[in-house]
Chains A and B, each alone.
Chain A
């Protein structure tokens, strides 16, 4: 027994190193597996508060671009209002439920990262504003990411510039589906993989969200095709997509709350066979 103690005492430096290294490697591995409960995240009181303070100073430097973006969005919304397809026709109401399917929460990006392969954003709204994990985040130009973790007042978002993120997307004119991923290289471009060869794709075609997942509603803008690669071994295209969004400069974003989400998820769970 005494020998064990003296061994521990003699090698305390090495043992402490191995213990702490084990903990940190465990945390790293946990962080790399998508959507496991992450222990260390910036959606907490201390770091969220610090980032909010920093952002309140930074905000002033971007007021002009933010105003421009808001004015443009107002213009496009107004255009939709004036060019309504048929003003005589009454708007279609969901008669069964009588409520809107999608609700939107405005939040501010207090921390943005885009230099590492796995990027996260921090928002200044959290569970008290009704934000939950797996909600979609968009802004006026296109999609931004998916909510990862929430605390009372902050939320972290898996950016689309994250090698772990995978979002259902489609080609606007032909409705062929694919998965949107990022290869970790250029912040202006993402990749759409697994697009069937049957699809007719051309440079400049618009890519929008697919609506197969319950996270994003269909037809939210993503970007345009800039390069087309064909895989000789499989029957799929890989498309290089130029994002509409400038992910390095994000101000206000909208978190999408889908009202039917819970219902769809429980339904899908029921039809899946037990594992």
Chain B
């Protein structure tokens, strides 16, 4: 049990609490909701155990599903994001991302922004597609993905900079 593990556990519960209490009630124009709880998956240590990440993402999603009565929608979307996370890292930061220390909570460079963007799009598209569950409303899924993605990215960046660990 080192400090990283404890720090991540605290972040897990804080993000769930923030999502349920604040962000689920914060809707723009009646249909745009932000889901900053996926910050947990994004901020999980780069070299951490990948199987643990999958299991924890599943747990995170199932808890969110319990709160929003949505079956397994959040769980599936979180799993997909957790599974493709190394791929997105590779795409955004280049091949040798595991050797250089990638920090998300630092100055917003194009690499960091593209990582956040792709992660949020992957998660939201999976989630809204499963939530609607039929192709008749495909354009609505795209519209909702687009709007919610913008909203979530804004909230995520604000949260990252609000809780940026002060160094030195």
- Is A217 positioned at the interface, with any CB of B under 8 Å from its CB? no
Interface size class of A (residues with CB under 8 A): 35 or more
B68 touches A113 (CB 8 A): yes
Interface size class of B (residues with CB under 8 A): 20 to 34
B76 touches A21 (CB 8 A): yes
B72 touches A113 (CB 8 A): no
User: Please, which residues of chain A bring their CB within 8 A of the CB of B68?
Assistant: 42, 113, 116
Known contacts being A54-B21, A117-B132, is A156 close to B72, with CB within 8 Å? no
- Is B47 positioned at the interface, with any CB of A under 8 Å from its CB? no
Q: Chain B at the A interface: mostly helix, strand, loop or mixed? A: helix
Apart from the given pairs A24-B62, A54-B21, A116-B70, 20 other A-B contacts in the complex at a CB distance below 8 Å? A13-B50, A13-B54, A20-B79, A21-B79, A21-B80, A21-B83, A25-B72, A25-B130, A26-B72, A27-B65, A41-B66, A41-B69, A42-B67, A50-B67, A54-B20, A116-B131, A117-B132, A118-B131, A184-B137, A184-B140
Query: Which 5 pairs across A and B sit closest by C-beta, in order of nearness?
Result: A31-B71, A27-B72, A24-B72, A24-B75, A24-B76
- Which A residues lie at the B interface, using CB under 8 A? 12-13, 16-17, 20-21, 23-32, 38, 40-42, 44, 46-47, 50-51, 54, 113-118, 120, 122, 156, 184, 187, 248
- Which B residues lie at the A interface, using CB under 8 A? 20-21, 27, 30-31, 33, 50-51, 54-55, 58, 61-62, 65-73, 75-76, 79-80, 82-83, 130-133, 137, 140
